[in-house]
Structure 1
Amino acid sequence: MADRSFSVSRIPGFAAVAILAFVILYLPIFTLVIYAFNASKSIAVWEGFSLQWFEAAWANRQVKEATLRSLIIASSASVIATTVATMAALGTTRRAAFKGQTFVYVMINQPLMVPEIVTAVALLIFFASIKVATGYQGLGYLIAAHSAFCVPFAYLPIRARLEGMDLSLETAAADLYATPWRTFRRVTLPLLLPGIIAGAMLAFVISLDDVVITEFVKSGGQDTLPTYMLGQLRRAITPEVNAISTALLVLTVLLLSAFFLLTRKKE
């Protein structure tokens, strides 16, 4: 008998709608990448192939400073968020179900459910009072804000990895009188490492690309690469912005591809 199970791909017009959605989503991105190699100063008139805007971005001191600042913040936030997410994942999966477990999940994933602008305004008010009280205006606020926002993004792949791990090896280690720390270091951590790396990369990408929270929390002279680009769009726009966007896009795609390879299930 033929398989009559429901499949959304069999709905009439599904293919056309899917193709249209992909065109609307990716055509502007492809256009941006193409015009990053434009020889003209115009972002809308093509005058030939050139790498001059990549060279201009590379020579731009503000771009270098913003890029370095973005990498420092994203690296720090990913390490902090992944550490917290790993402990949270262990605490919510390597134990029996407990009262309030759903509430804990909701609190960990709260940044995913609340609009980012709400989180940004809350952080602005919170950190503003600290700035007034302490006088400190450094990058610590951005690192703390990005770390808090990135925790659920790191938590999800780590928790998924833990839930897919067989407990028998950890149980066997305990039966052989291994201490909980030795069991974690020799058994749990090596098995969990792909999930930790995937969570760290995802947190890094989210932090690197963030605009809203950064725009609200940062002090003067603390532009990251995305906020620098946003500022440039308010002034005279040149294909240099396209070149920076293309480089950022390539980095993001590479990291997300590595994330996919680490988290996909092996056949």
Structure 2
Amino acid sequence: MKWMIVEKAEELAQVTYQLLKNEIERQDGNLTIGLATGSSPLGVYEEWRKDSLDCSNVTTVNLDEYIGLSPEHPQSYHTFMKTHLFDAVTFKQSYLPIGDTDDANQESERYERLVRELGVDLQLLGIGSNGHIAFNEPGTSFDATTHVTELTESTREANQRFFDQLEDVPSHAITMGLSTIMEAKKILLVASSARKAEAVRDMMEGPATIDCPATILQRHADVMIVLDEEAASLLSEEAKRTGRAAYENFK
């Protein structure tokens, strides 16, 4: 596990996007990238939209989708990705789970097969304040594949800002499982704000436990974490020095 701590919050998206862009250019665009939703990647997608990077050979697969929302629903992750990335950047192919399916468990199995067949070269992740990655809530088995999950109240409350009221936030979602995410060759995680500080500390310095799903990343061979100072505020002083030095070297 490697990490960088940027000096200013506005640099977070720029650095994360540059790392992602470097990987696309290194492979001449012939790769599959796993994409995340929510607030964490928004700045990264903004940087991506502003760039003229050729992504016509890049395939994307998203982590999750709300159950019960059609792809056309304004709060679906299909719509989220179109608004924040897909309408501005042309990809070879983009995949998301289908949320308004008649059989969510069957759809989970179909999507799991698809992701495994494609193979993810680089997975972009955020982290929830309770330590979840994708919609793998605390208590999720490290062996979980793509599955139906019930969202915790804290997760629904965090996502309420995308809806008119809490009651409108779906209670369930289809999400890539932790073992599916761990199959990615590289993982790039971005976290900002003091609200994520405890989860970041637990992920990086705590024991690997299902109480904090993100701690499974300690077992991955190639993880880069990009943090702002607030998200890194609870790390040990040694970890802070290491992250700041890594950023200086990157610049």
- How would you bin the TM-score normalised by the shorter chain? under 0.3
The structure with the larger Rg is: 1
| Between structures 1 and 2, the one with greater helix share | 1
More relative contact order, 1 or 2 (CA 8 Å, 6+ apart): 1
TM-score of the pair, normalised by structure 2: 0.23
